[in-house]
Structure 1
Amino acid sequence: MSAAIELLRPDLRGFAGYRSARGEAMRGDVWLNANESAWPNPGDAGGDANRYPEPQPVVLRAALAALYGCKPDQLLVGRGSDEAIDLLVRALCRPGIDAVLATPPVFGMYAVSARLQGAPLLEVPLRDTDAGFELDGEALLAAAVQGNARIVFLCSPSNPTGGAIPLALIAEIAARLAGRALVVVDEAYAEFDSQASATALLASCPNLAVLRTLSKAHALAAARIGCVIADAGLIAALRACQAPYPVPAPCAALALAALAPDVLATTRARVDLVVAERERMRLALAGLPGVRRVYASAGNFLLLRFADAGAALASLRAEGVVVRDQRAVAGLDDALRITIGTAAENERVLTALRAARSTP
């Protein structure tokens, strides 16, 4: 039994899950095994939506594995990173016993999934330093051991703070929690960061998993295509816990089109543009009156503190600009998160915030 499998809930080790009709390797041209309609829907232009899709599309899985530098059997495709987070918590955490650890301020789905599973939630807040929000590795390790953490979520680059966690620290945390917890690195914004992916650590850290998504840099938020990359045994166990047909065929086709070489080249050029605009906006925003701080970011967004965040938000809305209000988040009661848009959209942000200071 692999080290990753030993972290599964004991009652799910060896769990086969549901065997769907499409999950069986069969050949034929008259398909009467899944109780599907023999006729396509009249409104279906493609004419094939009457058939269930592949549970794990082979070609898409191979393309994603090539993109992320892993083997296909190390990767599970699902409905964005959100499904992967939920699957991991349900598969590894026994209600009331095995805890989930997160590092706020951070993406809220880790806490939501823990609560839905009845898993205790441990929180080790990031430290707000002169260099930005940073992870306290020793505090995290102590809390994980004392609180019986089964999963440790590390968001890198972190949402909403924008900070990235050094790979050396991730490797140290995984090594010191070996046999105790799965360390999950959420890399939803990794394309905007110059640091290498934590997938480079998988060979030496069997208790590591990495989340990736096509929602952000690849501009496919509506398609809901994400994946978890981990030990092949853990991936197989997660598939047994997953719904029978998690990847709609139109979404799989769209994802495959997005992974074509020429499309990937355009995506990379747009990522470079976002990174350049991020730096331009960071400097421009930092020079505005009323802006207390602009945090450096490795994502496609910036976190700002304001002297009057409410007034800044009102001015942005008056200009038709919608940003993320962070004031309800602990430690961010004066903060807004602003996504990097096109150059023209970014100029509207600057115009609105200048107006906020000039209004009596």
Structure 2
Amino acid sequence: MSVLDLVRDDLQGFAGYSSARSAKLEGEVWLNANESAWANPGDAQASCRRYPDPQPQALRERLAGLYGCSAAQLLIGRGSDEGIDLLVRALCVPGRDAVLYTPPVFGMYAVSARLQNAVALEVPLCDTDAGFVADIDAIITKAKQGNAKLVFLCSPSNPGGLSIPLQQVETVVSALRGQALVVVDEAYAEFADEPSAVSLLACYDNVAVLRTLSKAHALAAARIGTVIADAALIEVLRRCQAPYPIPAPCSTLALEGLSDSALALTRGRIATVRGERDRLRIALAGCACVRHVYASDANFLLVRFVDAEAAFQALLAAGVVVRDQRAAPQLHDALRITLGTPEQNDRVLDALTTLEPAA
């Protein structure tokens, strides 16, 4: 069975929209896309008059080299959000097929399932001494019993913080071969030690990996995300994608942000974040207002507080905005704190120290 058998029957022969930039034509005077003959007065570089390349080849090749795959295995989209949406729409028949995810976790898996009217299956993460961990056996069992077409594994998990060992990911992929595509969301992988699930593509066609430039590469506003999967599935997703997903200025910025010199600077910043992660975790664990600080492989810490509202307000009063997680399953007393600069992290600690009981 091929991964293409997991695609909706009505989309397997779907040609999609053929844009003016889809045809590989050469010429000097371009009059095929009803574009303006003049640049906008505010466009000093005259870079936005023409529709952009739907999949800019230079960026595609640069990302493929960064992530260890071929360009044919990679689709560029508007952040990981678009990749999630495309996968759910392309694979799940509304009202029939299911999407499985592991709360507490990134909310877009559930949102995309809801918008597609896909059945939502939840296998909660287990709150253990080691942190929030995935119940691999339960994931496999529920996926098989619930007709899951997509299984989302967030590694490192957001907001839990822990990676799923690659061997466990492979166990899920192998067990669901022929039934489901296992999507490993590696948005925070640069901050972790666990090998990427991209390596599994050499043996399995029912695995996909999501990556983004929004986190470690500091290009959140550029909205550059990728889906890495079997080349045939990438072609299907491309046909389901809107015609011009990557604005030319964003593509140019991403290429500059992935230059050798930029990558060297990014690696140094990642090292700083990892060091601050350890420092802040130890310091927070010593605060009387903190119940528990979870281990993290990402660029944030999930923290339980004695009084989460008081902690949230103390941080706001200090000008520090953190993510309130109290509405998420199992996290009624938790806040998620992104790791900032050393000075910003000191500001977090100073604010929370005010909640210490009087001596």
Asked if residue 194 in structure 1 is aligned to residue 193 in structure 2, the reply is: yes
Q: Distance in 1 between matches of 2:356 and 2:118?
A: 45
TM-score (norm 1): 0.99
The SS at the match of 1:315 is helix
In 2, Cα distance between equivalents of 1:43 and 1:208: 44
Instruction: Determine the C-alpha separation between the residues in 2 that align with 1:241 and 1:45.
Output: 33
Unaligned 5+ runs, structure 1: none
Distance in 1, matches of 2:150 and 2:277, equals 32
The number of residues matched between the two structures is 359
Once residues 35 and 198 of structure 2 are traced to their aligned partners in structure 1, the CA distance between those partners, rounded to angstroms, is 39
Distance 1:357 1:209 in 2: 46
Determine if the alignment matches structure 1 residue 30 to structure 2 residue 29.
yes
Equivalent in the alignment of 2:281: 282
Output aligned runs, 1:125-204, within 5 Å.
Answer: 125-204=124-203
Is the 8 Å Cα contact of residues 288 and 357 (structure 2) preserved in structure 1?
no
Contact 2:47 2:248 in 1 (8 A): no
Percent same amino acid at aligned positions?
A: 64
Q: How many Å apart are 1:14 and its aligned residue? A: 1.9
CA displacement 1:33-86 (0-9 Å, x = unmatched): 001111111111111311000000000000000000000000000000000000
Residue of structure 1 in register with 2:259 after alignment: 260
* Residue 356 (structure 2) pairs with residue 350 (structure 1): no
For residues 301 and 34 of structure 2, the distance between their equivalents in structure 1, rounded to whole angstroms, comes to 50
Residue of structure 2 equivalent to 1:215: 214
**1:228 and 2:237 are equivalent in the alignment:** no
| One-letter code aligned to 2:329 | A
Q: Which residue of 2 aligns with 1:80?
A: 79
The answer to whether the Cα contact below 8 Å between 2:79 and 2:224 also exists between their aligned partners in 1 is: yes
Which residue identity does 1:42 align to in structure 2?
A: P
Deviation at 1:259, TM superposition (A): 0.8
Q: Distance in 2 between matches of 1:359 and 1:113?
A: 48
User: RMSD in angstroms over aligned alpha carbons?
Assistant: 1.0
**TM-score (ref. length: structure 2):** 0.99
Q: Which residue of 2 aligns with 1:107?
A: 106
Map Cα deviations across residues 221-276 of structure 1 (whole Å, 9 max, x no partner): 00000000000000000000000000000000000001100110000010000000
Alpha-carbon distance between aligned partners in 2 of 1:39 and 1:78, rounded to the nearest angstrom: 28
The residue correspondences of 1:56-71 to structure 2 (distance < 5 A) are 56-71=55-70
Moved over 3 A (4+): none
Question: For residues 276 and 99 of structure 1, what CA distance do their matches in structure 2 show?
Answer: 40
Q: CA deviation at 1:357?
A: 2.4
Q: Report SS of the residue matched to 1:297.
A: coil
Superposed, 1:33-52 pairs within 5 Å as 33-52=32-51
